Amino acid sequence: MPQAEHSCDAPPLPGTQAEVLRELQANMPDSGELEALHAYLDSGGDPTQLGRAEQLFVALRHVARLPQKLQVRRPRGAGAW
């Protein structure tokens, strides 16, 4: 299967679901950052003017208990991450 081309400013996504979840966990905004993001949006701020990471969390902002849902347990018998 041929490699997909990526623009120079957009690195390829991690290869596995576990890697994606780890990245989301590691980069979750804290409560103050989320409050600032919500205040920006509630005041009519344009989400397209935000960075890629902020736009992702705009898209995920209505997911209830997102930080808890991102908690991943290693499957039994699996090696360390």
Looking at residue 59, its pLDDT comes to 92
Helix axes 52-60, 31-42, angle to 10 degrees: 80
Q: Residue 57: exposed, middle, or buried by beta-carbon count in 10 A (0-12, 13-18, 19+)? A: buried
Residue 16's CB is within 10 A of a number of other CB atoms, namely 10
Instruction: Read off the pLDDT of each residue in 5-15 and give the average, rounded to a whole number.
Output: 53
pLDDT per residue as tens digits for the range 30-78:
889 989 999 999 999 999 999 998 999 999 888 888 888 877 554 444 5
The residue with greater pLDDT, 25 or 2, is 25
Q: Are 33 and 50 in contact (CB under 8 A)?
A: no
Where residue 19 falls among pLDDT bands split at 50, 70, 90? confident
The verdict on pTM exceeding 0.85 is: no
Q: Which residue has the tokens 């920006």?
A: 40
